[in-house]
């Protein structure tokens, strides 16, 4: 028989992305960020904004593991977070109850936080939209959670198939949520410049009438393709 865990395990101090790194991701669509990370980094497709967002969400992740049907750790993360943080709440993908509603999001706004990302559910959509902070979640249910724990704050979690550490960079838009590991931010930003330049050049060619890009044409006319009757 194991000892009962503490209600909460909290790590308050963790390395954070530099302010200039965060501002460098402002306005960058998630598709470009993913391309700069070799085509990966996005959370599961079911984690989407409750409503269309008008701007790219960029901020620092503060993680919490709530587990199923409980949000004690999310409230603890709310109390631990700093202005400019984004709450990242892992529920083990639990969908029978919500993990957050409009009142919690109102408190998050009052603390200067930027939004919430969870693999769980939300509720009170009208109120959340009134608060004005973006909420990325797996869906909606009016069912409410308990606040019993156990849970963690500030420790590594996994959401939507992606490992996330507090201090990582969150980039989110209408396509979904991408996590940039804090230690890789400089490299990703360097790659991002190349990606955005190539994207802009190809977009200009498409607008000018391009039908088939050169890199596809080269494959089609190479000895790696055979024609059959």
Total tally of structural domains belonging to the chain: 1
Mean pLDDT of 192-197: 91
Q: What pLDDT score was predicted for residue 5?
A: 85
pLDDT for residue 213: 87
> 38: domain range?
8-183
Q: Is residue 163 part of a domain?
A: yes
Gap between the Cα atoms of 163 and 91, Å rounded: 14
The model's pTM: 0.92
Q: How far is the C-alpha of 87 from the C-alpha of 90, rounded, in Å?
A: 10
Instruction: Answer yes or no: is 119 within a domain.
Output: yes
Is 209 part of a structural domain of the chain? no
Q: What is the structure's pLDDT at 4?
A: 86
Of the pLDDT bands very low, low, confident and very high (cuts 50, 70, 90), residue 210 is confident
Quote the CA–CA distance of 82 and 62 in Å, as a whole number.
Answer: 9
pLDDT band at 1 (very low <50, low <70, confident <90, very high): confident
């Amino acid at each position: 028989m194991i000892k009962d865990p503490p209600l909460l395990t909290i790590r308050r101090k963790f390395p954070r992305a530099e302010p200039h790194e965060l501002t460098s991701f402002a306005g960058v669509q998630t598709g470009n960020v993913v391309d700069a990370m070799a085509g990966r980094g996005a959370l599961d497709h079911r984690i989407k904004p409750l409503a269309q967002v008008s701007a790219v969400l960029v901020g620092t992740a503060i993680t919490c593991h709530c587990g199923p049907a409980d949000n004690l750790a999310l409230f603890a993360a709310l109390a631990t977070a700093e202005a400019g943080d984004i709450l990242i709440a892992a529920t083990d993908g639990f969908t029978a109850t919500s993990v957050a509603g409009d009142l919690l999001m109102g408190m998050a706004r009052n603390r200067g936080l930027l939004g919430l990302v969870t693999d769980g559910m939300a509720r009170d959509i009208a109120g959340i939209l009134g608060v004005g902070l973006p909420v990325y979640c797996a869906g909606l249910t009016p069912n409410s959670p308990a606040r019993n724990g156990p849970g963690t704050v500030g420790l590594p979690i996994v959401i939507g198939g992606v490992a996330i550490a507090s201090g990582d960079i969150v980039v989110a838009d209408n396509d979904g949520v991408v996590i940039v590991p804090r230690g890789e931010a400089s490299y990703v930003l360097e790659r991002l410049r190349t990606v955005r330049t190539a994207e802009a050049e190809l977009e200009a060619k498409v607008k000018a009438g391009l039908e088939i890009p050169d890199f596809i044409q080269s494959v089609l006319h190479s000895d790696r393709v055979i024609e059959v009757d």
